[in-house]
Amino acid sequence: GAVVSQHPSWVICKSGTSVKIECRSLDFQATTMFWYRQFPKQSLMLMATSNEGSKATYEQGVEKDKFLINHASLTLSTLTVTSAHPEDSSFYICSAAGDYQETQYFGPGTRLLVL
Amino acid sequence: KQEVTQIPAALSVPEGENLVLNCSFTDSAIYNLQWFRQDPGKGLTSLLLIQSSQREQTSGRLNASLDKSSGRSTLYIAASQPGDSATYLCAVSSSGTYKYIFGTGTRLKVLA
């Protein structure tokens, strides 16, 4: 099956700094990528949908200036958490879908801890 | 707005039992439904994907069924093993948007 990677898998940062998380589709071209967030012992919540070469579409309640998403190529999307605060600590997972979006392939996730 | 609920929230069973996890969704206009496994602190492992036109999918000891009209899916695990202990998530992809809405999850513990 298709493989999606995320980097880094773990990141610890100080409050006020910005953190960039990469999501890559390794063996297929991802027209669309999705970013999810998971708080401890809760389910995944969709944050935004990004299409290659266009602006991301954010779900209600997600601050687009806080969570910057860039989908500059068909194999790479990045999520930047700007001016991170402890409440941004979470597990961030991306998924990628090809042209027909019929199947999403999920990355392994990135755990962010903001001190 | 699509809502996905999973029952039970937690389940503890002795090894060898057959068990059923339930997933219900409010909007039957789905594109597909997928069951995932998540181990503590880890990402998602896809178990079974059921397209909206299908009624069930099987993989090894796992069988997932889909009843779109009633908004339900079940994941059947046969002869459970301690290694099956994990959180099981179902997610539905809505027609048109292809966004996945995840259920609340069932935390399964299989006792040796």
Please calculate the CA angle B90-B93-B97 and round it to the nearest 5 degrees.
155
Cβ atoms of residues B52 and B95 within 8 Å:
yes
Interface contact B105, partner A, CB < 8 A: yes
pLDDT tens, residue by residue, B36-73: 999 988 888 889 999 999 999 999 999 999 999 999 99
pLDDT higher than 90, residue A9: yes
The pLDDT tens digits of the residues spanning B6-31 come to: 999 999 999 999 999 999 999 998 98
Are A95 and B32 inside 8 Å of each other by CB?
A: no
Question: Which is higher by pLDDT, A71 or B98?
Answer: A71
Mutate to test the interface with A, among B4, B93, B99 (most CBs of A within 10 A): B99
Closest chain A CA to residue B96:
A101
What are the chain B neighbours of A111 within 8 Å (beta carbons)? 41
- pLDDT of residue A39 exceeding 90, the answer is no
- B97 to A20, B7, B69, B86: CA distances (angstroms): 26, 26, 20, 29
Q: How many Cβ pairs within 8 Å bridge chains A and B?
A: 48
B60 C-beta neighbours (distance < 10 Å), count: 8
pLDDT at position B15: 97
Chain B residue numbers touching A105 (CB-CB < 8 A): 46
Among residues A89, A75, A73, which one has the least CA distance to residue A27? A75
Long-range contacts of B61-67 (CB under 8 A, 24+ apart): B62/B35, B64/B33, B64/B35, B66/B33
